[in-house]
Structure 1
Amino acid sequence: MTGGQPLPRAAEPTLTIAQVVERTGLSHDTLRYYEKAGLIERVGRTTGNQRRYAAADLAWLQFLIRLRETGMSIADMQRFAELRSRGDATVADRLAMLREHRAGLEDRIRALRRNAVALDGKIDHYERLLDQPGSDGPT
């Protein structure tokens, strides 16, 4: 055991922090921040204290990226991670969080679609102005 967490089984392939950076697009600093912020559980370490990420760590990081990209706050991500760390007893709470986040995402998608339609209308307006004979362009 190292740092309070067992190392992954010898047969389980692990990734260095550089490999995780390459696969996820997260920076070294972000990975360290996620660990310090409690978003990821303490990562396994080698005897030289180098982080070694298991496949489950990578899958969890990819899910965190999705949460972040869909606008979940760090505080809510921390709450979700904390619930996850408590095991199956929190499945209903995690499901409720994800449903609420998904509903908020749908609201934002609808708003983005409305905004895209408005922008398309303005683009069409300016294209028509440019197509008018004798027009020097939009004013």
Structure 2
Amino acid sequence: MTQTANARTYTPAEAAAESGFSIDTLRYYEREGLLAPISRTPGGRRTYSAGDLDWLGLVRCLRDTGMPIADLKQYAELCLDATTMDERLALLEVHHQRVQEQVDLLVAQQEKLREKIRWYLANGATRAEQERAAGRE
């Protein structure tokens, strides 16, 4: 971490650690326009601000929930224009709906797993036998 005019900044390694992205991914995101151009020191080294890390937190959330890069690029571009709030909201609502569908599917699948586990337990399997059969003694 460095201090510049009382504003905390982060090295690429610190930004990578904070965001969970690799340094290469940070560079890629900058190149692709998913990040605003990153400030540089007089020596040319990238330096990330707290705002950059906040943005990367949102990018992490969107990527972890399956937002395609193309949609993320569109969202990032829309964020550059203060008059595009409705478009940004619509994009996020569509993504939210896709995420909800995935969650609903996973919950349904989890219930099927629970049913199968209950069946095995009701039909003579014991947890100790299950663990032994799975090689987890």
Pick the aligned partner of 1:107 from 101, 109, 112. Answer: 101
Pick the aligned partner of 1:53 from 48, 54, 66. Answer: 48
* Residue 89 of structure 2: aligned partner: 95
Aligned: 1:64 with 2:63: no
Code of the residue aligned with 2:104 in structure 1: it is: R
Aligned pair count? 125
* Residue 23 of structure 1: aligned partner: 18
Identity across matched positions, percent: 38
* Aligned-pair CA distance for 1:78: 0.5
Unaligned regions of 5+ residues in structure 1, if any?
1-8
1:57-79 superposed Cα distances (whole Å, 9 cap, x missing partner): 00000000000111100110011
* Aligned-pair CA distance for 1:12: 1.4
Following superposition of structure 1 onto structure 2, how do residues 25-44 of structure 1 map, counting pairs within 5 Å?
25-44=20-39
Unaligned regions of 5+ residues in structure 2, if any?
none
Quote the RMSD (CA, aligned, Å): 1.9
* Residue 14 of structure 1: aligned partner: 9
Code of the residue aligned with 1:124 in structure 2: it is: R
Code of the residue aligned with 1:116 in structure 2: it is: Q
**d(CA) in 2 for partners of 1:20, 1:42:** 14
* Aligned-pair CA distance for 1:122: 1.4
**d(CA) in 1 for partners of 2:43, 2:58:** 29
**d(CA) in 2 for partners of 1:131, 1:82:** 56
Code of the residue aligned with 1:55 in structure 2: it is: A
**d(CA) in 2 for partners of 1:95, 1:104:** 14
Q: Which moved more, 1:100-109 or 1:64-73?
A: 100-109
**d(CA) in 1 for partners of 2:59, 2:11:** 19
TM-score (norm 1): 0.83
1:38-69 superposed Cα distances (whole Å, 9 cap, x missing partner): 11011000111110001110000000000011
* Aligned-pair CA distance for 1:25: 1.6
Code of the residue aligned with 1:101 in structure 2: it is: H
